[in-house]
Every structure is written in C-alpha cells, then in structure tokens.
Structure 1
Amino acid sequence: MSTTRRYAGMSADDRAADRRARLLEAGLEVFAASGANGATMTAICAQAKLTERYFYESFTSRDDLLRSVVDAVSDEIRTAALDALHSPADNVEAQVRHAITAFVNVLTDDRRKGRVAMIESSAVESLRAHRRESMREFARLVAAEAHELYGDHALPEPESEITGLLFIGGLAELVVAWLNDEIDVTPSQIVDAATRQFVATTHR
C-alpha cells in the first residue's frame, strides 16, 4: 500500500525515483567541484537537500553513488555516440565524425561530466578498476563498430581491440588535457584529430 500512496500528485515510487535522481545530480555537482575528498555523503546530501536516511534508500555507500554517477555519464556517452554513428551520413568518415562529436560533446558541453568520468574517478581507489574496465568496454565497442563499418577490411582480433584501446585511451587523454586547460585546442579540433585517427587505424 505504501508504494502506491500518492502525495502531492506523486506515488511513493515516483518520490523515491525523484530522490535518487536528486542525489545523482548532487553527486555529479559535488564530485566534479570538490573532488573525491570533498564528495562526502554529508556534502552530497546537503546539495540534494535530503537527509542521510534517503541516501541509504538508494545507495549503500558514498562510493556506490559515485560509481552510479560515473556509470550514468558512460551510458550517456555510449547512447549518444551510437545514435550519432547510426544516423544518416554521406559516407563512413561522416558517420565516424558524428559519433566522435557526440562522444566529445557529452564530456565538454558539461565539464562536470568530463571531470567526473575522466579525472576524478581515477582518484577514488574503489573506482579505478571500474574506470579501467569501462575503458576496455569502450575499446571493445570501437572494435565492434569498426567491423560493422569496414566489414572484411576491419582489423582482425586481437589487433582490433588493441587499436580500440589505443584510440579510446588517446581520446580520453586529449579530453583530460582540455579539461585541465593544458592544451590550447577546441573540442572541434579534438574531434578532427580523433576522426583522422579512427579512419586511418581501424581498417586495412
């Protein structure tokens, strides 16, 4: 009965989902702004304007929430890039450019997402292995999509996954350098360079 009772037009399940979304948004904000040390449960709850009781309704620990924040960014990148890759385009290079543009835009249009996914996650011990596995998943995705794009001309395994990891690692480092203001380039220039790299290295 409690899960269906409505308050202010929202069911209990709707309110729980809303609180979870608020905590994830607060986690993104605090983790990006204050880093791992500043992203405490207390700070995140304060940002979300929720008590710790509601924190434990959705998450088992601070690191559980931070992992969910990073996963949400990764899921957004994956969805945006695949949707762009499979959208109408004049040729394969245009498809690749669309996908890389979508990838880069998620991380640069909202710098918080870039910082959390590419920088701050590596500062949390419990997230490091998770981040590395996420990079491997993206590398495998690059390899799989290269096979779709180039067919028999795509690189065979394991060369395709090796190349995918080199590509994703290099693109990630470019974005990190941009986020840290270490290189004087635009996101469009990053897309240009990454597109050339993909087209030149993922097939024979």
Structure 2
Amino acid sequence: MTRPYRGSAPEARHAERRARLINAGVELVGTGGVAALTMRAVCRQAQLSQKFFYESFTDTEDLLREVYRTTFQRTLAIVDAAATQATSHNSRIRASVDAAAKLVTDDPRVCRILLVEPVANLGLRHFVRNTIAGMISFTVGPPDDSAQSKMHYATLFGAIISLFLEWTEGNLGDDRTAFVDHVTATVLASPLASAAAEPRP
C-alpha cells in the first residue's frame, strides 16, 4: 500500500499534476495556438518534468484533445446553466448566446481553443463536428443525415463562429446586448429553428 506524501494520497497528487498539465495546455493553446503546445513549453508552464507528463498523456496530441474537451465541457456547463433558467424556447436561445458571449469576453482563450484552432487542426475538427453540434442542437432541432440538413447546419455554424470571432477580436463594438440580439436573431432565422425540440433533460 502506497503511503500518502505530505498528507496527500497518490491518486490526489496524480490528479493535481494532470490538472496542472491541462491548465498549462489551455493557456498555451488559448494564447499561442496549437503550435505553442510543445512538450517543453507544457512542462515549463506546469512546472513539472516530462516524467509526470507521460504519467497522464501519451503525447501532446493527447493533451490537445483533452484541452479541447475540458474547454468545451466548461463552456457547455455555463451555457446549459443559463438556458435552464430561461422560460421559453426563444429566451433559452438568447440566454445561451449571452452566456457564451460573456464567457469569451472574460476569457478569449475559449474562443481560440474551440473555434479558431480547429480550422487548421484536423484532429480537433473531428471534435468540433460532434461537440458544437451537440451544444446548440436543442436550439434548432437535432441534425439528420440529409445533405440539406447538413448544409443548413454548416451555414448556421459558420455564421455563429464568424460572429463570435469578430466579437472576441473587438471588431463588433462593445455592446453585448446588441451582439446577443443579432446572434439570437441569426439562429431563429435558420430554417432549422422551426424544428427546435424541447430542452435536453
């Protein structure tokens, strides 16, 4: 049986080191892009040796996927919490957009990790297709396998991604209410909006 070290169990120390590596990855990718996520940079940022890196991840691609998943789950929790408090379908959409707009304003790294870097990284694009669609599917109805539905989704996602990138970069002014109203109207104008389902349980 392994004894605790300085009052901390081995599992807890492992979890703490893993969290430090993920946080380091979020900082590096969120500020410098995927290219900044090198082994040396991650270990330096986390103040850990490579030995501890391999304790949690096989390589930097493995860490990159976890950086994306962690950032997405954080975003989804915030968006879901905002939507749950709304009382109508339209207000749920607006509350979700507002929560996302506030998040990327407070932490621009989120926008870069979720929306910018996946454009150039094929590995991350796989996650985008599955996760971003899941995040907003309750606002416009679930996707189906038809080419028409996929085109509508691609059009809507492209518009939302472009708007959030411009907002995060400060190119759309600083009136968050006006921005949220516009994005909400864009979602509601989509042909998919009429197929909107009830909020996910």
Equivalent residues, number: 192
Alignment of 1:62-73 (within 5 A): 62-73=60-71
Q: How far off its partner does 1:136 sit?
A: 4.6
Unaligned runs of 5+ in 2: 196-201
Task: Indicate the larger mover: 18-27 or 138-147.
Answer: 138-147
From 93, 98, 113, the counterpart of 1:96: 93
The answer to whether the 8 Å contact 2:22/2:66 transfers is yes
Match of 1:196 in 2: 185
Task: Indicate the larger mover: 107-116 or 38-47.
Answer: 107-116
CA distance in 2 between partners of 1:160 and 1:42 (Å): 44
Matched, 1:42 2:33: no
- After superposition, the Cα gap between the structure-2 partners of 1:73 and 1:186, relative to the gap in structure 1 and judged at 3 Å, is farther
Cα RMSD of the aligned pairs, angstroms, is 2.6
Q: How far off its partner does 1:87 sit?
A: 1.6
Q: How far off its partner does 1:147 sit?
A: 4.2
CA distance in 2 between partners of 1:199 and 1:79 (Å): 22
1:16-73 deviation digits (Å, cap 9, x = unpaired)? 0000111111111122222233221101110110000000111111111111111111
CA distance in 1 between partners of 2:165 and 2:44 (Å): 28
Alignment of 1:126-141 (within 5 A): 127-141=121-135
Match of 1:151 in 2: none
CA distance in 1 between partners of 2:165 and 2:126 (Å): 15
CA distance in 2 between partners of 1:116 and 1:134 (Å): 10
Match of 1:10 in 2: 8
Match of 1:51 in 2: 49
1:77-130 deviation digits (Å, cap 9, x = unpaired)? 2222222222243x332221111112233323211121222223434xxx4243
Match of 2:107 in 1: 110
- After superposition, the Cα gap between the structure-2 partners of 1:132 and 1:174, relative to the gap in structure 1 and judged at 3 Å, is farther
CA distance in 2 between partners of 1:156 and 1:120 (Å): 26
The answer to whether the 8 Å contact 1:140/1:164 transfers is no
Matched, 1:119 2:110: no
The answer to whether the 8 Å contact 1:24/1:69 transfers is yes
CA distance in 1 between partners of 2:96 and 2:151 (Å): 20
CA distance in 1 between partners of 2:151 and 2:141 (Å): 14
The answer to whether the 8 Å contact 2:89/2:139 transfers is no
CA distance in 1 between partners of 2:154 and 2:133 (Å): 5
* SS of aligned partner of 1:6: coil
The answer to whether the 8 Å contact 1:76/1:106 transfers is no
CA distance in 2 between partners of 1:59 and 1:186 (Å): 41
From 127, 139, 146, the counterpart of 2:140: 146
Matched, 1:180 2:169: yes
TM-score (structure 1 length as normaliser): 0.80
Identity of aligned residues (%): 28
Unaligned runs of 5+ in 1: 149-154
Match of 1:166 in 2: 155
